[in-house]
Structure 1
Amino acid sequence: MNNTIADTYEIAMGRWSRRLSRSFLDFVAAPSCGAMIDVGCGTGSLTLAAANRYPDARIVGIDLIPDYLTDTLRQEAANIELKTGDASSLPFDDDSFDTACSQLLLNDLDDPAHVLGEMSRVTKPGGKIAASVWDRSGGLTFIRLFLDAAAILAGIEGEKLRQEVFDVPHKNEEDFYDLWADGGLQDIKTTTLAIRMDFIDFDDYWQSLMGAHSLIRAFFNRQHAELAHDIQHATRLAYLGGKTDGRRSLVASAMAVCGTVPA
């Protein structure tokens, strides 16, 4: 059976974004009633976590890719609504929500400031706007193991891949603070959230890695057999850390920011 795009994401990152969602919601501390929108909801990790935490709230998840918005997710909680739509042009009236959140999206957008403006537009005065993104260069160990091996063994092409994966608009909490401040938000706070990525063995790790980022997958698949073997072997040695194959728990960190829409 062929995996769907939602299946691929769940294997690669969905299990980790679910862990992140709980810590992210603790940080946001949104009101326990009203309406919340999850912008760029993907397979619904944050949407479902919010629906379970706030069972009396209306939780709306929106994503540009309809295949992420599965019937299974719709059936997980009675207060979930899912909609296909573009984060840069949210299909909602002004002041429609009490809280707007986005998890693992803003650093993959061409114009995050515009999307922040849309999130603010659909949120009521006094409402909260919050986002989180992976700290790719300093906080995703499981990707760094592969990228360092690729940079060493594949030369310029490997180094270019590492730079592309790490080259994101906002690299630290200060960048996100400035983005929120420039967007006119008040009472801004930032933090770094940490989770554990637990792998059964190297094969489990490798499967997650190959689904984690399209650039990584494309790079590896176009290498000739000998170089691809060497890169995978070097990554395996880094994963094993001098021990036999088996379970490993790697730290992953994300940056989060939250602010309030002015009254």
Structure 2
Amino acid sequence: MAYFDVAAEAYVQFMGRFSLPLAEQFADVGLAGVDPSARILDVGCGPGMLTGTLAKRCGEAAVSAVDPSEPFVAATAASYPMADVRRASAEELPFADDTFGAALAQLVVHFMREPVRGVQEMARVTEPGGRVSACVWDHGGERGALSPYWKVVRRYDHGAGEGALAGSWAGDLTRIFTEAGVRDVVETELIVTLDFATFEEWWRPFTLAVGPAGAYFHSLNKIEQAGLVDALREEYGDGPMTVQAAAWTATGVV
């Protein structure tokens, strides 16, 4: 996940503003019907946005979390020292079979090297009757948190964007879960709405080189970067602005 070889604080500034409110809604889905005493796994935890929500609801000691990024693992472990936080990929989870009552992956499936294998691993470490859940932005439907940015970029670069990433269009998470052997899969959508007082407040985190959007900006030369910023400002004005983001969510039973 070279897109995320960045400081934890950069990710928090860029995506944390969306993923924190998303985590509250996603936890409602991923913990539904799960035994309150069960252990819970956060797959692809990043700097710990979902981890914190799970710790608050289930108790920090009941939560385990993994991520392949060392800075993210260090940040999550520092924030939640009673949680079991490890460096690992979704495709190779370092836990025994049937360990958890629920496994959740927020904004991760579309960056897994092998999404079906990653969900299979989540199911393997979840006990029979436990719940496996994932959510991803609706990049394919151009309703994701970053869609306002990519909408303008594609005027100049028609092939740019994240719409082809796994799980990021209607029904694709269900396909991945079904191929992974998860039962009774239900797919829904979650909505997050954020208000920004100024254009700069919304735009500045895109310059931090986080994820495909940040990497794309840094791939441009200085003249191209300035042109893109001008085009974005022309489209959205100086603010205030509101971004409404939709995320597909799939949940099922092991």
TM-score, length-scaled by structure 2 = 0.88
Which residue, 172, 177, 193 being the options, matches 1:175?
172
Matched with 1:120 is 123
Matched with 2:44 is 40
Q: Please provide the CA RMSD for this pair.
A: 2.3
Residues 1:238 and 1:205: Cα distance change in structure 2 (over 3 Å): same
Matches within 5 A, 1:64-213: 64-70=68-74, 73-74=76-77, 76-77=79-80, 79-140=82-143, 143-152=146-155, 154=156, 158-162=157-161, 165-211=162-208, 213=210
Name which of structure 1's ranges 50-59 and 128-137 shifts more when overlaid on structure 2: 50-59
Residues 1:102 and 1:224: Cα distance change in structure 2 (over 3 Å): closer
Equivalent residue of 1:145, what SS? helix
Matched with 2:246 is 253
CA distance in 2, matches of 1:91, 1:217: 30
Equivalent residue of 2:45, what SS? coil
Which residue, 209, 223, 231 being the options, matches 2:228?
231
Larger radius of gyration: 1
| Letter of the structure 2 residue corresponding to residue 151 of structure 1 | R
Percent identity of equivalent pairs: 27
Give how far 1:56 is off: 7.4
Residues 1:226 and 1:256: Cα distance change in structure 2 (over 3 Å): same
User: Deviation digits for residues 137-169 of structure 1, max 9, x if unmatched?
Assistant: 3354653333233332x3xxx11223xx22112
Mapped contact 1:193–1:254 kept (Cα < 8 A): yes
TM-score, length-scaled by structure 1 = 0.85
Residues 1:139 and 1:33: Cα distance change in structure 2 (over 3 Å): farther
CA distance in 2, matches of 1:150, 1:47: 32
User: Deviation digits for residues 204-249 of structure 1, max 9, x if unmatched?
Assistant: 1112333475443343334344443232111012222xxxx33322
Which residue, 22, 25, 28 being the options, matches 2:27?
25
- Report the structure, 1 or 2, having the larger helix content: 1
Which ranges in structure 2 are unaligned for 5 or more consecutive residues?
1-5
Mapped contact 2:209–2:215 kept (Cα < 8 A): no
Which ranges in structure 1 are unaligned for 5 or more consecutive residues?
none
CA distance in 2, matches of 1:11, 1:89: 29
